[in-house]
Amino acid sequence: MSQTNETLTRNVVTGRKAAVRVKTIAFVGLMGALSSILMLLRFPIPFMPPFMSFDLSGVMEMLGGYMFGPGAAFCIILVKILLQLVMQGSFSMGTGELQNLILSSCYVLPAVFVYYRKKTKKRAIAGMAASTAFVAVVAVLTNLYMIIPFYAGLMGSTMDDFVAMCTAVNPMMKDTLTMAAFGILPFNLIKFGATSIVTFILYKKLSKFIKGVIER
């Protein structure tokens, strides 16, 4: 009789774990879809590089990472990019999607790793602050030495053409250095800083609700 009860208990626990896993996967997919929708609402920031656009898609990625871990966060990023390709295709010969993957990963994953070592409010804030600074620096390096040169080569243009685009909206951006200092760096600090603030505001309420649904 005791063995039967133990077997039933094991089966119930196994079934519960399987249900939680399925619900978690469903929420990861849903958050990826919401992230791609938020990307559709992107818009340029005045006086910033016109080839960059502001959006809050990173909120879903960071929320998912804080709730379910770094693996889930990366899956949300991939779902977002794949859905964007399906819905709109690529306007940048794949370079924008590559940059999106790099910057989203550099923003979300370090913060999640910091938070998962000890789940406190202070570590969540510290992780997002460090990630915001880190991704802004990465954005400068990847734009100047990888993404823009590669895209310019594909389109038969030069880095000077991109500088000229920036000068047209902000005369302070006169060359590559000033484009980085007054355009790329502050743009990404604003974008990911705002994403961090929104994430911090939403995290507690949404995480309780979502975890309640998953564990029900």
Domain count for the chain: 1
32 against 88, higher pLDDT: 32
CATH of the domain at 84: 1.10.1760.20
> How high does pLDDT run on average in the chain?
91
CA torsion 33→140→194→165, rounded to 10°? -90
pTM: 0.90
Three-class secondary structure assignment of 162-174: HHHHHHHHCCCCC
Per-residue model confidence (pLDDT) at position 212: 77
Confidence of residue 147 (pLDDT cuts 50, 70, 90): very high
Contact 32, 79 (CB under 8 A): yes
Confidence of residue 168 (pLDDT cuts 50, 70, 90): very high
Residue 4 has pLDDT above 90, yes or no: no
pLDDT one-digit tens code per residue, 118-136: 889 999 999 999 999 999 9
Per-residue model confidence (pLDDT) at position 206: 84
In a 13 Å sphere around the CA of 197, the CA atoms on its Cβ side amount to 6
Mean pLDDT of 103-114: 96
Of the chain, the percentage scoring pLDDT greater than 70 comes to 92
Tell me the C-alpha distance between 208 and 129, whole Å: 23
Mean pLDDT of 105-112: 97
Residue 136: domain span = 2-215
In a 13 Å sphere around the CA of 181, the CA atoms on its Cβ side amount to 8
